[in-house]
Structure 1
Amino acid sequence: MTPIFMLAWKSVLNRRVTAILTIMTVAISVILLLGVERVRTQAKNSFANTISGTDLIVGGRSGQVNLLLYSVFRIGNATNNIDWKSFEEFSHHRAVKWAIPISLGDSHKGFRVMGTNHDYFQHYRYGKKHPLTISKGKEFNGLFETVIGSEVARDLGYKIGTEIIIAHGVSDVGFSRHDNLPFKVVGILDPTGTPVDKTVHVSLEAIEAIHVGWESGAHLGNTPSADQLESQIFKPKQITAMLLGLNSKIQAFSLQRQINTYPKEPLSAILPGIALHELWGMMSVAEQALMVISVFVVIAGLLGMLSSLLTSLQERRREMAILRAMGARPRHILSLLVLEASCLTLFGLVAGVVVLYGLLASAAPLIQQNYGINIELVALSHYEWKLLAAVQLAGTSIGFIPAFHAYKQSLSDGMTIRV
């Protein structure tokens, strides 16, 4: 260990209170800078991992972001429905390997209700092509059976066998509820960190059955009892959207063009990856704003360190003069102060990274439950290392300012000051 480094270390220890405050300032700025970057990256990955293995999403004629939002993220409503005959035609297309019908429009206590069939549980994938798994119970088979997401079960305290009432539309109010047709919970899905966790799944036939006697959202006639409805055979007339998996991804653009020019009704087919990229592009303004705020916090932290160094320099003028009298050259004084600033910045970076990982480990389950964003405790990325290197370089560079002031001070100036 060089004498200059030893001297810098002892100087920092001698001013430990000021040094600790400076390190905390740098650490807080680093926590915010890396925290925003980590949450931004993980949120982007969570959005991208919501749906996996689906080649095309098809819905009524609409913009691709709107179609993606209501079909995958359960946000908003469809502009138009799809005729069931159109679904049957495309589900049997030679390029289609599997097709999942989706029917939206109802809700239960703030959670969206989705009508689908067993192909949903068999073919829907999320993350890195993870299948849906049922933690308790089984898939629905009866007309008035439902499989609920993990968040629905947790927030509402539902268990296997619980009966629930579905409401017509997204607002769960008394006059819109199908009170005489309760559904029985027969299955609870494992957590996925996606909108699946907030969804109540029923069969397409059940969606048709509960709307007998309803027209345009209004209850116009008598609704048959559950026993009467179970004795009937229901076939969907319309659905909200469909998810398609193809035999070959090369066929995606060809089939997309066929669907977009379908003569029997106006349809839109989108590629999930492209739609997700456009969605994230729309959110880039907020993303950039957060990054700018983080950068300014880092600048404020470094300026605080500069202020501390300049203030302490006035108190250390005699110290500098004594060092000069003992043979230290101006370049040694300059190296000493720059090394102090560099050490304080480095300690701040290390403290910031350690505290950040601790906060992420503690907050990850809450973020997962409340926002569906999966925060993984992975090693620092190449970009994050570059950010830390930039902060370290800036902190070291700031040390040159008080060092230059000390460099200019003469030996007599330091020895004659009043104390």
Structure 2
Amino acid sequence: MLKLSLKSLINRGFVALLTVLGIALSVALILGVERLRTEARAGFANSASGIDLIVAARGNDVQILMATVFGVGSTGTGISPESYQMISDLPQVSWTVPLLMGDNHRGYPVIGTSAAYFDRFRHSGGQPLAFRSGGVFRSEDGAVVGAGVADAFGYVPGSVIVNAHGSGQVAFEIHDEAPFTISGVLERTGTATDRMVFVSLKGFDTLHQNTARQPADPFATPPQAPVTQQNPDPDAAPDGHAGEHIGGDDDTAGDADRGHLPGTINAIYVGLTDKIAVLSVQRIVAGYRGDALSAVMPYVALLQLWSLTGTAETALRLMAAAVAVAGVTGMVVMLSAALEVRRREFAILRSAGATPVDILTLILIEAAFLMIAGIVLGYMALLVITGFADPVLAESFGLRIGLTWPTFREALLILAVFCSGLLAAVVPAIRVYRMTLADGLSMRL
């Protein structure tokens, strides 16, 4: 029956091919939507790993998370040095990292921070940042760039960059009077860090205190300093240690901003001595009589973000399910449309000894062949599309899908599509069963 089913499909090759393509499209779309949804959530969660609280001017939790962790948007008015000191002096606080925002480099967000950022920040479930080449900035005009920025413009340690005031693609003023020299390039993390530029607190603050700024083209290629060696700072990590974690528990290592705090700070990353102290610190920050502040738990803000994006996710999944239903329906239509034409074929099979159950089984086997071929072709199409789209998604959105085997959830989706196809094929199979019974009781010419 297997051989007979296969030959029957080959005999109707063109229609069978169209059916397989419809099923393949539905499978590729369902799995593609699922992977995008899963990787987007994982990428967001990985970007906020290791941070217990984010303190910023009072505002929406999601807005604060997006601005500080993902470089999208901005926070409120700012935090005074006194407020920063109050938070740092709390007994429940183990470490703090200040952040300045509001500049961009050719569309990529620029973050002013201390060298402690590279010791304290974690991603992807607790992994520390590592350097592909060079090391932490140790001077006022030093800068560290993420892997995405470096790859986009060919930056290496020693390259000179110019930043602009404004966020995103908007640039109000170009700070071409104060260029920065790249001291290090980070390893790729698959998070928003890949698309960021980091400069020292003092350099960022001094730059904005300078009123002699001239407009320029924000997308012009910045001047390049002659590169005589990959690591211009002899104290930084040598290139031979590319990929090695730079820094440790000693916050003084390479901190060019020790003792320097600007007039206002946009946000503070906070690490606690004990995770259970998070609610008490939130209450202290909320009740502080100085600046109006919010202490945001990244994980809670992410849950709020998922609730906002849940409608879009549901719409995408419903669209993928609708395409799957269309593919399965096409298979049922093909099998049903061929029943009258194949009536003589079934009569010959009956005369050769096939029972009505054998004919029913023949239809179900054909449906199984079509579903398996569609699923395999759909998954192969997904891998090909992923191979082309992955670099674009990584560059534009910081998402990496990767070429991987199906996850358990994806395997369940594939199984659900397969079972749905077989279940739908029962309708034409039952018609065949009844036809063969009737044909067996009456003579047909």
User: Structure 1 residues 5 and 119 mapped into 2: Cα distance closer, same or farther (>3 Å)?
Assistant: same
Query: Which position in structure 2 is the counterpart of 1:328?
Result: 354
Aligned partner of 1:416: which letter?
R
Identity of aligned residues (%): 37
**Alignment partner, residue 202 of structure 2:** 205
CA distance in 2: counterparts of 1:311 and 1:183, whole angstroms: 70
Asked whether 1:310 is paired with 2:336, we answer: yes
Q: Does 1:263 align with 2:260?
A: no
- Measured at CA, do residues 382 and 161 of structure 1 come closer, stay the same or move farther in structure 2, by a change above 3 Å? closer
Q: CA deviation at 1:142?
A: 1.5
- Partner AA of 1:203 in structure 2: S
**Aligned to 1:178, which of 156, 162, 175?**
175
**Aligned mates of 1:213, 1:335 — CA distance in 2:** 82
Deviations 1:231-260 (A, max 9, x none): xx9541211000111111011111111111
Judge which range, 194-203 or 6-15, deviates more.
6-15
Quote how far apart the aligned CAs of 1:212 are.
Answer: 2.3
Instruction: Pick closer, same or farther for the CA change 1:169–1:7 going to 2, 3 Å.
Output: closer
User: 1:145: Cα distance to partner?
Assistant: 1.6
> Any gaps of 5 or more consecutive residues in structure 1?
220-229
What aligned pairs does 1:14-413 form with structure 2 within 5 A after superposition? 14-170=11-167, 176-214=173-211, 235-409=261-435, 410-411=438-439
CA–CA separation in structure 2 for the residues paired with 1:302 and 1:246: 54
Counterpart Cα distance in 1 of 2:403 and 2:272: 34
After superposition, the Cα gap between the structure-2 partners of 1:412 and 1:127, relative to the gap in structure 1 and judged at 3 Å, is: closer
In 2 relative to 1, CA 210–285 (structure 1 residues): closer, same or farther, beyond 3 Å? Answer: same
Which residue of structure 2 lines up, in the alignment, with residue 225 of structure 1?
none
When residues 186 and 262 of structure 1 are mapped into structure 2, their CA distance, relative to the original with a 3 A threshold, is same
Distance in 2, matches of 1:392 and 1:293, equals 18
**Take 1:109 and 1:351, find their aligned partners in 2: how far apart are those partners?**
41
Higher deviation after alignment, 273-282 or 181-190: 181-190
Superposition RMSD in Å = 2.5
1:99-142 residue CA offsets vs partner (Å, 9 max, x unmatched): 11001112222122111001101111111211112212221111
Aligned length: 401
Partner of 2:367, secondary structure, is helix
**Residues 72 and 168 in structure 2, CA contact (< 8 A), matched pair in contact too:** no
TM-score, structure 1 as length reference: 0.89
Judged with a 3 Å threshold, the aligned counterparts in structure 2 of structure 1 residues 174 and 350 are, in CA distance, closer, same or farther, namely closer
Measured in 2, the distance between the counterparts of 1:379 and 1:182 equals 46
Alpha-carbon distance between aligned partners in 2 of 1:373 and 1:299, rounded to the nearest angstrom: 29
Provide the secondary structure at the position in 2 that maps to 1:302.
helix
Q: Secondary structure at the residue paired with 1:49?
A: helix
Q: Which runs of 5+ in 2 are unaligned?
A: 216-255
Asked if 1 retains the 8 angstrom alpha-carbon contact of 2:350 and 2:440, the reply is no
Which shifted more, 110-119 or 186-195? 186-195
Render the CA deviation track for 1:341-360: whole Å, top value 9, x for unaligned. Answer: 12221222233233323433
**Given the superposition, is the C-alpha separation of residues 320 and 259 from structure 1 closer, same or farther in structure 2, using an over 3 Å criterion?**
same
Deviation at 1:325, TM superposition (A): 2.5
For residues 349-406 of structure 1, what are the alpha-carbon distances to aligned partners after superposition, in whole Å with 9 as ceiling and x for unaligned? 2332333234334433332222211214444333322222221222112222222222
Match of 2:247 in 1: none
Cα pair distance change 1:175/1:404, threshold 3 Å:
closer
Q: Is 187-196 or 59-68 further displaced after alignment? A: 187-196
Amino acid at match of 1:236: P
Deviates more, 1:66-75 or 1:346-355: 346-355
